[in-house]
Amino acid sequence: MRFVKHSAIAFITFVILAGIAIPIVPQPQGWLEFPIIPGLEEKVRSIFFHVPMAWASVLGFLSALYYGFRYLQTKDFDYDIKSVSSAGLGMMFCILATVTGSIWAKFNWGSFWNWDPRETSIFILLLIYGAYFALRSALSSDEVRARLSAVYSILAGLTAPFFIFVMPRIVGGLHPGAKGDTAGSTPVAQLHMPPNMRFVFIVGLVGFSLLFVWLLDMRVRIARIEYQISLKEN
Amino acid sequence: MNFITSTLAIVSKDIHSELRTRYAMNALLMFIVTSVATILFALREDEVSTEVLSGMFWVVIFFTAMSGLSRIFVSEEERGTTMALQLVASPSAVYFGKLIFNCGLTLALSSAVTILYLVAFPMFVIKSMAIFILTIFLGSIGFAAAATIIAAIIAKANTKGTLYPVLSFPILIPLIMTVMKSTARALDGEIFTTALGEFQILASYLMIMIAGSYLLFDYVWKE
Amino acid sequence: MNSISITANGLSKDFNRSTIFKDISFSLSSPASLSIIGKNGAGKSTLSKIISGLLNSTRGSITYSVNEKQIEIEEFKHHIGFVSPYLNLYDEFTALENLQILSRIRTSTHQNSERIKEMLALVELWDRRDDIVSTFSSGMKQRLKYAFALLHDPAVLILDEPTSNLDAEGIEVITQIILEQKKANILIIATNIKEEANWCAKQIQVG
């Protein structure tokens, strides 16, 4: 885990430095210069942070789902600890992604919120997290709470394919890569990024994933200790 | 065949119970009437686009469903009859029995809302009947599918009433967005084939929801 | 008559970070009787619910066999009759309707109108059969629960506080039922009344 921690810090520091410091010029020479992408210019820098955060929030949801599923299989309470810790982290990243995306939207398209499919999807993810925690707080028994929140996370996961694949096809959108965008086409790696930008971007994705793993590990360890303490008290 | 007999017996029990007590029917009917009346006062003679009309239509259905569809599990839990049901029926029979009841209930309330809308709003004209009917049919079953499993979940919780829409809404969003689009098409008078994409989504949604709920129901129902 | 056996191994139940009971084991083969005793709140009801398949144990296992063949609880539960203070029947229906509806859901072959009449007569509720259960006294409701429990002629009778809410007459009727059950089948009683516990051959203490 120390390796994960150090790599996460290293990668993200690199992304922060490269993402913010590398100048954007009309004719990039060599590695340390980014090209101007029409329509985005300086605003492209947020892609190094906003997208990995959105990715981390999805990662949080997938882990919560996976650990919930394992809980239902084994009834081992440790899985519930991991599930709720993942969900908490996922929710935090979701809020960050929504806020960074919203700020970018203001500068790029003129308003903070537009209901484009990707914006709607991240909002729905936020609703799912909110519902998950609302459900947990309304259940008083440990076992019932673990069981039912695992079921809910799986149900929410079942509807996820609809958002990822169906929505952007049906409803045209503003996000780079949605239907109607002439510049990009694939759902994930939208822009035609030059190799150096792509490198920083990938490092960002990996860095945030490692950050997620590290933070999750810490949260789980703390939660386990709290659980052990409360067991001793009873 | 025992399973089918058992399931239908559960549906029958819920229907008779409802006829005996009339808890859900009265409340739902009043809810529909007051919602439509409110919208009527807000709009009066204004012309609205078919998208807005379609949206309002499904908003009323959504909130009516949220008022009424949780009853089948919540009433068992509140009156303590869950144990009796657990002793006599298999979890699958309970799930499908309650699902069938809720499908019937949702179809009934969608029809009621349709009739009220046709009466109250002269601009609500269904130009493509086939699209509209299939949308109502698939949409209602999809609603019931999601609403039933969530009802089973919140029946075990402390704050059932407010929690129900909170949990149901995110799960229902793909359904709601799709039926709104499809209903708008019906109001616009588009030809049937344009709505095929939506029908595919609705059909796969309800299949996935029913299959998933069936598999997960054991974990919700049995402590 | 079928030969039934129930074997429990190391049953434990936790609830919210505290342990209600642990390592409960027993073995019963018809005819047999077991009483579960313990203070109020010790977990007698919980154990009786686990045995009847209404609740899962946190650890341990319980196996059910009919004529030497092991059966899953989902199928075995139709051999179980269960009475408990937590059991409630549908109070918008009449006594007769309750038994008819519940037997239809159970779809077992034993239940026809003859049998229903027999059971209602046994618990002395036949002349109240068309009254809505919400009008019943708690003693009458308790007797109706017995009618419901015995309707499908179960090989196993699990009773949680068998005589709660019953008057002297009611207790007499129940005692008869219990003695009948003990003869050829399995009887499990959870109680904190010593006399009732003594109806059974074996005993387990919980808590």
Banded pLDDT at A187 (limits 50, 70, 90): very low
Contacts of A231 in chain C (CB under 8 A): 17
Q: Are C59 and C10 in contact (CB under 8 A)?
A: yes
Domain edges within chain A: 55-233
> CB-CB: which of A75, A140, A234 is closest to C17?
A234
Task: Tell me if the bond preceding C31 is cis, omega within 30° of 0.
Answer: yes
How many interchain CB pairs under 8 A, B with C?
Answer: 68
Banded pLDDT at A189 (limits 50, 70, 90): very low
DSSP per residue, B61-129: HHHHHHHHTTHHHHHHHHHT-HHHHHHHS-HHHHHHHHHHHHHHHHHHHHHHHHHHHHHH-TT---S-H
pLDDT in tens, chain C (207 residues): 678 999 999 999 988 888 888 899 999 998 899 999 988 888 999 999 999 999 999 889 999 999 889 999 888 999 999 999 999 999 999 999 999 999 999 986 656 888 899 999 999 899 999 999 999 999 999 999 999 999 988 999 999 999 888 888 888 888 888 888 777 789 999 998 888 888 888 898 887
CB contact under 8 A, B90 and C74: yes
Q: Which whole number is the average pLDDT over A152-180?
A: 68
Both tokens assigned to A130: 């909110």
CA–CA separation, A26 and C112 (whole Å) = 89
**Strand bridging mode C4-15 / C18-29:** antiparallel
Residue appearing with tokens 């440990």: A142
> CB-CB: which of B149, B173, B205 is closest to A124?
B173
Condensed to tens digits (0 to 9), the pLDDT of residues A2-61 reads 888 888 888 888 878 777 777 676 666 666 667 666 666 677 777 788 888 999 999 999
Task: List Cα–Cα distances, C25 to A56, C44, C47, C66, C204, in angstroms.
Answer: 48, 14, 11, 19, 9
CA–CA separation, B165 and B63 (whole Å) = 8
Closest CA to C185 of C11, C50, C8, C34: C34
Contacts of C91 in chain B (CB under 8 A): 79
Q: Cα B7 to the chain's mean position, in Å?
A: 19
Residue-averaged pLDDT of chain B: 91
CA-angle at C102, arms to C100 and C105, nearest 5°: 110
Q: Cα C86 to the chain's mean position, in Å?
A: 11
Residue appearing with tokens 């549906």: B11
Closest CA to A37 of A184, A172, A200, A174: A184
Search chain A and give the residue with CA nearest C14: A143
> CB-CB: which of A138, A147, A154 is closest to B157?
A138
3-class secondary structure, B46: coil
CB contact under 8 A, B156 and A148: yes
Task: List Cα–Cα distances, C62 to A177, A206, C42, C154, C158, in angstroms.
Answer: 57, 48, 20, 18, 15
Condensed to tens digits (0 to 9), the pLDDT of residues B151-172 reads 999 999 988 888 999 999 999 9
Search chain A and give the residue with CA nearest B150: A152
Number of Cβ within 10 Å of residue B183's Cβ equals 27
CB contact under 8 A, B83 and C86: yes
Domains and CATH numbers, chain C: 4-205 (3.40.50.300)
Banded pLDDT at A179 (limits 50, 70, 90): very low
Q: Cα C93 to the chain's mean position, in Å?
A: 22
Banded pLDDT at B27 (limits 50, 70, 90): confident
Contacts of C15 in chain A (CB under 8 A): 141-143
CB contact under 8 A, B166 and A130: yes
Q: Tell me the shortest Cα–Cα distance from C79 to chain B, in angstroms.
A: 10
Contacts of A138 in chain B (CB under 8 A): 154, 157-159, 163
CA–CA separation, C144 and C120 (whole Å) = 7
Q: Is C89 on the interface with B (CB under 8 A)?
A: yes
Lowest mean pLDDT among A183-192, B71-80, C78-87: A183-192
> CB-CB: which of C56, C86, C104 is closest to B223?
C56
Task: List Cα–Cα distances, C7 to C52, C84, C159, C186, in angstroms.
Answer: 12, 22, 18, 12
CA–CA separation, C137 and A179 (whole Å) = 68
Contacts of C94 in chain B (CB under 8 A): none
* CA-based torsion, B204, B206, B209, B214: positive or negative: negative
Contacts of B209 in chain A (CB under 8 A): 158
Chains in touch with C (3+ beta-carbon pairs under 8 Å) read A, B
Banded pLDDT at A164 (limits 50, 70, 90): low
Both tokens assigned to C131: 């009254």
**Among C88, C98, C107, which would you mutate to test the B interface (most chain B Cβ atoms within 10 Å of its Cβ)?**
C107
State the pLDDT at residue A37: 66
CB contact under 8 A, B170 and A131: yes
Residue-averaged pLDDT of chain A: 81
- Write the single-letter amino acid at A80: D
CA–CA separation, B101 and B13 (whole Å) = 10
